[in-house]
Structures are given as structure tokens and as C-alpha cells.
Structure 1
């Protein structure tokens, strides 16, 4: 067991990532996050008080991104309240706790809406794609593997080919034909060398957009 596991024991992989990579008040885009802070490695793209984004370790296609809530909400329907606030105790205290939980849920919902377009633009610019899926699953029967709210951004490359940052390669054309359901497709282990370069380029594009005119206000993207 790693020292991180000993200090932050949690069965949720995304909660482990959230704990390992706290938000930086200066920018939502981390400068040079260490992917080996946890095992398996995490290629972080975004870290805010409410959401974080990273590359999927079993991508359907190169550039497959996950955008997750920082706090542990299992399904979208849980965002109306905090799963950690039971409302027990004196009435005034319980009411304050409920309002705090509702405000946290509202801020998390806003952050998801703010950063999905930013991540989408960065994904298109870095990979050269024109089409992509944004997929969000709720529950086991809906193919939710990690029970923690997250969105998939899945690039769809044309005619079985990809050209990522000047690196040409082949994608199984049969995989393209198998996409009968959003978010489905053949998966393979993340190539760590390619992932590190991809993550660096995605962070650079997002940082340039945020700091080059649209800006960051109070740790939030000004989109």
C-alpha cells in the first residue's frame, strides 16, 4: 500500500484523484502535475474547487477525457444535496447545513457547465477532430463503472485515422463501425508517453484561452 493510500484510504478512484490533486487558487489549469502521485498514474488537465479533469486510463480513443466532480456525488440526481450532510442536529444547524450543501451542489453544477465547452475546444484543437461525444452515465445498468459523477469527452476520428499533434497513427476501422451506442467502443490501456504529451498540450491550450483574454476570476473560468 502506498503512503497516499495509507493517508487517504478511499474505495473511490476519483475521490483518490481529488485528494491527491487539490485545487490551486492561482489557476484551474495545473502547471506541471506529477502523474505518479497515485497508482495508476493520473494525467491531470484541470483542478478546481468543484471539478477536475484527467485522461481516461482505458480510452476509447486517444484524447478520451473525464470531467468529474471533486466531491463524491454518485449520480446527477444527487447534485440537489450533499451526500455528506444528513441534516441531523438542532433545527437551525440542520437548515444551515442543508443550505450549504445546496450551494455546493449549485456551484458544482455551474462548474460542470463552464468547463465542458472549454475542454471540448481544447480537445478539438489538440487532436484535430471535428466530432466528439459527451457522455454521462448514471448507475450500473447505464454502464457507470465508477460510482462518482463524471462526463466522458470521446473524440471521433475520421475514417479510422488519427493525427494527434503531428503524430499519425491507425485506429481500428472495425471500432468505428461498433459505435452503436454513445460512449461504447473498444478500449485499450493508456499509452503513458503519449498521454503525458497529450495532457501537456491540452493544458497549454486551455491555459492560453483562459489567460489570453477570457481570464479566470476567483478560480472560475470566465467563459
Structure 2
């Protein structure tokens, strides 16, 4: 029988978030999640059985979002484990991985549309790193959604020290290009993003009717 650590490795910060914020059966977008359930704070945007989204605590730009799998997978290739074994546990693990991959694909466009609506951006990066040499810091699959603000639209990220040119450039990752997320600004941004995501989900439901 698998233990809780099989699903949420204790050393993984994203697994700690997954354990602290279980999926709500009534809605994938939590109403007002407590950001202090984990340390550092987590400004949660999305919580489903397979996928989560929250603000990056070291944003490259205001609105920098991480979309990740709830279950622990280290690299993108882990989402499709071998299915040759006949035992039930292996088949179940493979099915969970496929469900996680499908859910990531379904939610990335929704979160992207909400991000554009809230920030007013027209361009953004979706970045996914695999392994230390590829700049993966947390060994748990996650996608970065990084807003790219038009020149003059927004010159700084908040109250902290900022690389003055970082929001005007197309720089990806690098030392000195990130700052700690301001907690008040994070809470405000998260609330706006959750509302925009609810609107997107409701719009999709109506379109299917």
C-alpha cells in the first residue's frame, strides 16, 4: 500500500503545497485559500486532482505563474511511464500519469487567457525545464507562464529591488533578474487571476451548451 510520501515527497516544496491544499470537489478554482498554510506563502490559483497553479515566489515579472502536476513527477518524460507490466499498481500509475498530462494540456490555455486578461499583456513565455543543467530548480514538473509587458506598460515588479530592464527585455532566466514576491501584491494578483479563471471556465461551459 503506498504511503503519503509516495505521492508527496517531504523534501519537495511543490508536494508540500499539494498536501496543504487538497482539491475541492465543488470547484477547481479555490475561493480564498489561506496563503499561510505553507512557508513561504503560496498564492494558490488552481487546485484539481491532477494539476495546481500558483504564483512564483521569485517572479521574473508581475503575474509570473507556475502550473504543476499534483502528483510528484520529476521530468516531463515521467508523465508516460512504461505500461508493459501486468500488475495493477503499474497500470494505475500509468493511468495517473496520462491523466496528469491531459490535465496540464487542458489548463495551460485557460490560465494563459486569465493571465492576459488580468495583466493586459499580449505576449508571454511558457517555459518548462527538465533537470539541473536545464535550469530546473525544483525537481517536480512545472511550467512557467511569464508575462512580457510592452515597453512603458509596467516598469517595475513592485516594492522590492528590481533589475530595471528586466520587464522590457526578453531575458529568460539569470542571476539578478528576479525578486521576492511582495505578499500584498501577490494576494491582490492571485485574487484577480482566480476571478478571471472562473470567468474563463464559465465561458467554456456556456460555449459547450
* Same fold? TM cut 0.5: yes
Q: Unaligned regions of 5+ residues in structure 2, if any?
A: 1-7
Moved over 6 A (4+): none
Inter-CA distance 111–49: structure 2 relative to 1 (3 Å threshold): same
The number of equivalent residue pairs is: 196
Asked if 1:131 corresponds to 2:92, the answer is: no
Inter-CA distance 163–130: structure 2 relative to 1 (3 Å threshold): farther
Q: TM-score, normalised by structure 1?
A: 0.80
Q: Unaligned regions of 5+ residues in structure 1, if any?
A: 1-7, 217-221
Q: Which residue matches 2:58? A: 58
Asked if 1:215 corresponds to 2:195, the answer is: no
Asked if 1:103 corresponds to 2:95, the answer is: yes
Q: Which residue matches 2:41? A: 41
**3-state DSSP class of the match of 2:10?**
coil
Shift of 1:78: 0.8
Q: Which residue matches 1:21? A: 21
Equivalent pair of 2:56/2:181 in contact (CA under 8 Å): yes
**3-state DSSP class of the match of 2:193?**
helix
Looking at structure 2, the residues matched to 54 and 163 of structure 1 have their Cα atoms a distance apart, in angstroms, of 23
Looking at structure 1, the residues matched to 163 and 138 of structure 2 have their Cα atoms a distance apart, in angstroms, of 26
Looking at structure 1, the residues matched to 188 and 165 of structure 2 have their Cα atoms a distance apart, in angstroms, of 27
Inter-CA distance 175–73: structure 2 relative to 1 (3 Å threshold): same
Greater per-residue strand proportion? 1
Looking at structure 1, the residues matched to 178 and 94 of structure 2 have their Cα atoms a distance apart, in angstroms, of 37
Q: Which residue matches 1:202? A: 193
Deviations 1:86-142 (A, max 9, x none): x9xxx85x2x11211111111100100000000100000000000000000000000
Shift of 1:179: 3.7
The alignment's C-alpha RMSD in Å is: 2.7
Looking at structure 2, the residues matched to 206 and 178 of structure 1 have their Cα atoms a distance apart, in angstroms, of 27
